[in-house]
Structure 1
Amino acid sequence: MTIGLGYQMPNFSYSAPVADLFPTVIAQAREAESAGFDCALVMDHFYQLPGLGAPDEPMLEAYTTLGALATATEKIQLSALVTGNTYRNPAMLAKTVSTLDVASGGRAVLGIGAGWYELEHKQYGYEFGTFTDRFERLDEALQIITPMLRGERPTFDGKWYHVETAINEPRIRDDLPIMLGGSGEKKTFALAARFADHLNIVCNASELPRKLDALEKRCAEIGRDRSTLETSFLSFVFLDESGDRARQLQHDFMLRRGIDLSKASDTERAAATDRMFCGGPDEVAEQIKTRVLDQGIDGIILNLAANGHQPGIVELAGRTLRPLVDA
């Protein structure tokens, strides 16, 4: 499996001096590696995302970060979850991820999606376009990137992108994995069926049965065996050896975002936490098994937004969840 268990770092707000920021990132990646995670992932954003923090909170550029992590780790795979296609020329992206693969000794995964955060586009000067535009661009980009990763020299003359016998050397292999990320049952899933080795599904856990049914249909439409396309689910995990402490972390995290779980109705609470898994190790393991893996998802990519930067928490997550994906 490409990614049975992945660790995403969704924020760099560690209440520490900037000089201490990257050592904390390295420590998490190394802890994930030693704890049996398959992949360390960062977001490809310039600003912090709504729901995680304010736009001006710390956010590192993805591929610079991954390149640095390539020299600080030995065996864990490295990826963006996911690269915003709109931020880079596709041939240049193929070159970038291939270089990361060489630098890491064959540990890069190309995670890619259509792009969606309009504020970043506007303030950094990238064309945002319509929803349809962005998926047309992603489709064209994959028609360029995929052959370049496989050692071919594509010529492509599309509506959005143009390349002429584009060369991508050096490469360390011809099977660098491609992972699409998103929730779109028609466009994203159709592109995943055509191009991807792995699909990371971003949705509420309660939606997974419908999402997997849709993916089955997209694969059937092009004659692909659904079992050849790996899947994972992006999970927000609040974990501590003390379940009560984990629940307090979740409460405080949500309160900073304007939601008081202690005052929410059962319906409101369920809606607000549908992507979240919270408690002690046994509780989180049971939640992820029943709500995700038992639904037919192959693997888990998780973040520990509240406390993952604290030593020992990533190791605890690996110890808790690795047996589930190996079962």
Structure 2
Amino acid sequence: MTIRLGYQMPNLSYSAPVADLFPTVIAQVREAESAGFDAAFMQDHFYQASNVGALDEPVVESNTALGALAPATGKIQLGALVSGNTYRNPPMLAKAVSTLDVASGGRAVLGIGAGWYELEHKQYGYEFGTPTDRFERLDEALQIITPMLRGERPTFDGKWYHVETAINEPRIRDDLPIMLGGTGEKKTFALAARFADHLNINCNANLLPRKLDALEARCAEIGRDRATIEASYLAFVFIDENGDRARKLQHDFLLSRGVDLSNASDSERAAATARMFCGAPDEVAEQLQTRVLDQGVDGIVVNLLANGHQPGIVELAGRTVRPLVDA
């Protein structure tokens, strides 16, 4: 598994009829594939996340969408960034991702995290629980899912889950990659060290050195070589051939989320843009290099909240970032 450059699509609020929504998703993934992206990711939510858009903006069910992307693409890896463990029982998730792997000819990635969106849980009737509950559940889930992906038939009797010689067929391979997503230096990173091939980190960019030190420590605690787990960073990118247009896109997006950069203090601006990279291609490349890659991260997953659906923008992002991660 190698994901040095990924493309995530958390924003499906295109100015088009709903009937045109998924063709636009397919067009983006095909463009990402042609531009050299290693993987394309859907988010796994039922409501839009507040840092992306309004609650009732379009959000699709991730596994259904990924299944539709499989025959529309040929080589790009496909997954969720990341599946909320609390939304599906573990054997069902193992079955779903294995089915995607078969349908795509061995291109599925299992992305998984503990879950965090309380309103979705409440309104859809899922148990939310405490953070401790959710991480206990994720630990148990990975003890079930991992062997199922490897062709074993696990029996497990835990606090949260119970399975009896759970069968997972058909499968196309025994090394389907597992990606954990999150920022928790103790629990998430410890689970990544135990189970994952890849860790995607979503945090303010200035925290990356601390996060990577924590990952190193969690690996050392169980005797795992840090070099055996890839670590990527989720970057919110606003890019255009014209840097001023990119900055206008960023300004308008943040204004829609209640932040007016034109009146913001230096500290407010820094807080609002801590995960963002904005400008013309050379500006974005310099920011990603110094703020992310120079900190020791192995790869970058970009989303293009404002204009990724516009033809040519995903290709522009790939042309900008691919040389950085290949260096």
Do they fold alike, i.e. is TM over 0.5? Answer: yes
Aligned to 1:231: 231
Could you say which residue in structure 2 is the equivalent of 1:259? 259
In structure 2, distance between residues paired with 1:48 and 1:232:
23
Deviations 1:27-65 (A, max 9, x none): 000000000000010100001001111111100000000
Residue 92 of structure 1 aligns with an amino acid whose one-letter code is M
How far apart are 1:164 and its partner, in Å? 0.5
- Residue of structure 2 equivalent to 1:22: 22
RMSD: 0.6
The total of aligned residue pairs comes to 327
TM-score normalized by the length of structure 2? 0.99
| 1:234 alignment partner, SS class | strand
Runs of 4+ in 1 over 2 A off after TM superposition: none
2:250 aligned with 1:250: yes
Map of 1:131 onto structure 2: 131
- Aligned twin of 2:296: 296
Distance in 2 (CA, whole Å) between partners of 1:233 and 1:108 is: 19
After TM superposition, give the deviation of residue 279 of structure 1 in Å: 0.3
What is the one-letter code of the residue matched to 1:228? T
How far did residue 87 of structure 1 move? 0.3
How far did residue 11 of structure 1 move?
1.4
Q: Secondary structure at the match of 2:323?
A: helix
Please give the alpha-carbon distance, in whole angstroms, between the structure 1 residues aligned to 2:125 and 2:265: 42
Q: CA separation in 1, counterparts of 2:226 and 2:41?
A: 25
- Read off the aligned partner of 1:102 and give its amino acid letter: V
Pairing 1:146-185 to 2, within 5 Å after superposition: 146-185=146-185
Q: In 2, distance between residues paired with 1:322 and 1:202? A: 20
Q: Which runs of 5+ in 2 are unaligned?
A: none
The TM-score with structure 1 as length reference comes to: 0.99
Q: CA–CA distance in 2 between the matches of 1:308 and 1:98?
A: 29
Quick check: 1:62 aligned with 2:62? yes
Report the Cα distance in structure 2 between the residues aligned to 1:147 and 1:223, rounded to whole angstroms: 21
What is the SS of the residue equivalent to 1:71?
Answer: coil
Tell me the residue number matched to 2:90.
90
Structure 1 Cα separation of the partners of residues 167 and 37 of structure 2: 33
Instruction: Give the AA of the match of 1:292.
Output: V
**Partner residue, 1:41:** 41
Q: Any stretches of 5+ residues in structure 1 without a counterpart?
A: none
Q: CA deviation at 1:263?
A: 1.0
Q: Distance in 1 between matches of 2:270 and 2:104?
A: 41
